[in-house]
Amino acid sequence: MRGLKRYSSAELTKIFQPCLAISDPAERLKACAASLTARLVADGYVNSRVFVETSPAPGRLEVVEGQIVEVRVNAKNAWLSRRVSRLLRPLQGAVLNLGELERQLRLLQRQAGIQSIRSNLSRLGSDPSQAVLTVNAELGSQPLQGDLSLRNDGSSGSGEGRAVATLLKGGLAAPGDILLLYGELNFNNDPSLGTLISSTSYTYPLSDQFNLTGSFGYSRRNLIELPAPANEFSTRQFQGLGQLEWVFKESLTQRWAAFAGLSINRSDTYLAGKALPSFLPESVRSPRTGFLRVGLSGSGLSQSVGWSGNAYLLQGIGAFTPATQISELSQGGISPGQATALGALISAAWGFAPNWQLNLRGGGQVAYNPLTSSMQFTLGSDVGLRGLPGQLISGDSGWLGTAELVWTFWENQQQALQLVPFFGYGGVYTQLKHGSLIDYVGSTGILARWLVGDDWTLEAGWVDQLDTGTNLGPWADWTLSKGFYGKVQYRF
């Protein structure tokens, strides 16, 4: 047999078992060809063909694997036509398998901006092994999507309560654009407002492969949990970001991109609503920094595994820091224009059995020179360490690893119950002019999750913090610190 690599020797032996007892060589070949054809069709290779060659003796089977030789896309919108053609490009020249093709078309239907697709297969000319895939796509309006949550892993010093709202709208001004709004409040039991965070981000497709993102963020933090007079301190921060992304490879199951972004940060500290006295260093009262972030990002999806990650370089830019502050920072060994770090982060989800999924995350950052605060590596629940405040410790260099096992032990058409044991740990390191700082934190626990339809998620569980003795602070009195974690989430 020639031309087939789909089956192992053991599988072929099983396929050909019924025809091996036939004594006549010619009849045996025909019967084996029929058995193999039936198996190929049953496995979805509907246009693969098996031919019998009787000479030279004793003959052999010639397999021609059917292919998708052409992909035709019809769409009234030019942007949609180009995007669908780009996503389906890997199918051209691929071996046709109906099961895999249906999976690819389901993934296509889920793409933002696509209202509906219709597809059909036809033969190219008279060759039955060559198929033409025709896809008709229609552009649809993208509804507003939102995520609202209430949880108890706020900001130490600014309140345990944490309310988060995220709104996303695609296709706002042009096909392919994205508007993202984010808001967060931290508060205590009084209730008093500790932190207000808001940001607006807009991504515009410059072309089929280039995207431009601009975002602006504002935050106000009041240290309401500290004893007087420290509770009179507050911080106001502004952040601007511009980023250019080049998507150099994209399909329905993979996406690879390069990015370059500029981040500019300004922070002001107040006491009782007034600016700090001028005799304090300006780099403490009102720091100004900026840095460049360049790197690669990627994501992938298979039958049971999904992953995403990025690798990046951070480079400080001294031009955004006033000369007075540069002089002050140099006394601590920090030069904003020489601050440099390399980092990476990867997340993966593996559905290794029915109702079981393993989620993993790992990452780290290495600083080659002392960094400004906005460039540091931060550990907390914001980066996956469930059961800790959003941001607990930070350092110039750092690492983290998290794992959680999701077991769906009961479900029906509208609801599901899950048990999720989890573990996470990380550390940070900062080299100072006259020494160094090293710190570690982690958490472990188990939670129960109740999924109600596609909208509601309720989580409650037990958590134990690890190696947090040097980082207790105000959050030591939280219910989170005493072992209870809770979250209510609504999506639309």
Calpha distance 212→205 (Å, rounded): 6
**Burial (0-12, 13-18, 19+ Cβ within 10 Å), 106:** exposed
- Residue 364 contacts by C-beta under 8 Å, 6 or more apart in sequence? 343, 344, 377, 397, 398, 399, 400
**Burial (0-12, 13-18, 19+ Cβ within 10 Å), 382:** middle
pTM of the model: 0.89
Q: Hey, where are the domains in the chain?
A: 9-63, 67-139, 145-491
Say whether 145-491 and 67-139 share the same fold: no
Residue type, 476: A
Give the DSSP H/E element, type plus range, for residue 284: helix 282-285
Give the DSSP H/E element, type plus range, for residue 99: helix 98-109
- pLDDT, residue 170, reads 95
User: Which residue, 310, 321, 331, 251, is CA-closest to 84?
Assistant: 251
- pLDDT, residue 485, reads 98
Between CA 30 and CA 32, with CA 31 as vertex, the angle to 5 degrees is 90
Domain over 145-491 is classified CATH 2.40.160.50: yes
**Burial (0-12, 13-18, 19+ Cβ within 10 Å), 8:** exposed
Per-residue pLDDT of the chain (492 residues; tens, 9 = 90+): 788 888 888 998 899 998 888 888 888 889 989 999 999 999 999 999 999 988 787 788 899 999 999 999 999 999 999 999 999 999 999 999 999 999 999 999 999 889 999 999 999 988 889 999 999 999 999 999 999 999 999 999 999 999 999 999 999 999 999 999 999 999 999 889 999 999 999 999 999 999 999 999 999 999 999 999 999 999 999 999 999 999 999 999 999 999 999 999 999 999 999 999 999 999 999 999 999 999 999 999 998 999 999 999 999 999 999 999 999 999 989 999 999 999 999 999 999 999 999 999 999 999 999 999 999 999 999 999 999 999 999 999 999 999 999 999 999 999 999 999 999 999 999 998 888 999 999 999 999 999 999 999 999 999 999 999 889 899 999 999 999 999 999 999
Q: Which CATH class is domain 67-139?
A: alpha beta
For residues 43 and 11, is the Cβ–Cβ distance under 8 A?
Answer: no
Beta strands in 106-232 (DSSP E): 114-124, 127-139, 145-151, 161-170, 178-187, 193-205, 210-222
Region of residue 273 (phi > 0: left; psi between -120 and 50: alpha; otherwise: beta): left
Give the three-state DSSP class for 390: coil
User: Which residue, 417, 313, 405, is CA-closest to 367?
Assistant: 313
**Tokens found for residue 380:** 């907390």
